[in-house]
Homo-oligomer: A and B are copies of this chain.
């Protein structure tokens, strides 16, 4: 770990991950096996950027034992700890926030953000505030940094707006991290297009290309095509 990045040693990164029938909105494009592979490659891309950013530790939380063993290959490689935790996303994250000790910080980073880079993450970790929020499309909170354990999360149903309101109601300061690449959580077909356009060098993109996906620019707006 180099000197530049060691300033984030007080950060624990929590990556919630689900492997059971993942990414159902991509069912028209990918079989369930392909969706599982894509999910694992995206997790691998996220872990690569997160570990290179120099954080203290990385924890992947999966709901069931069977998924934990399936991702062990990726995880061993990337030096992250896997914990099995069946709680809902909100209960899981709030549990981790409640355990925060003084001077420790918790980052919650979604596993479907393959366009993250180490530089992007160091910018994110460097913003001020009790809370740092990184918006996704549709009111999502793609990344969250918590420096005060009075905060509570409430994902889905417009989590970004809710998280701003929760911070305000508790008198906590917050920053908003403005990033296109962290706004792209790969959820539907339009997000796959973004990965294909901007994800050069990422394993998840290489996987999509290896199974025939590419971009057609024959119309005014590019779209994804599968060649085989």
Q: Chain B: which residue is nearest A181 at the CB level?
A: B178
Whether the Cβ atoms of B157 and A220 lie closer than 8 Å is: yes
Given A178-B179, A179-B178, A179-B179: A194 in contact with B158 (beta carbons within 8 A) = no
Quick one: which of A116-150 are within 8 Å of B by CB? 120, 135, 137-139
Q: How far in angstroms is the closest Cβ of chain B from A224?
A: 11
Copy number in the complex reads 2
Q: Report A178 CB to chain B, min CB distance, Å.
A: 5
The contact of A135 among B161, B198, B222, by CB within 8 Å, is: B198
Number of interface residues of A (CB under 8 A): 28
Contact A120 B190 (CB under 8 A): no
Query: 8 smallest A-B Cβ distances: which pairs?
Result: A158-B217, A180-B183, A158-B222, A139-B222, A157-B217, A156-B220, A138-B221, A180-B180
List, sorted by A's number, 17 A–B pairs whose CB atoms are closer than 8 Å.
A135-B198, A137-B190, A138-B193, A139-B193, A139-B197, A156-B220, A156-B221, A157-B217, A158-B197, A161-B215, A161-B222, A178-B180, A178-B181, A180-B180, A180-B182, A180-B183, A183-B183
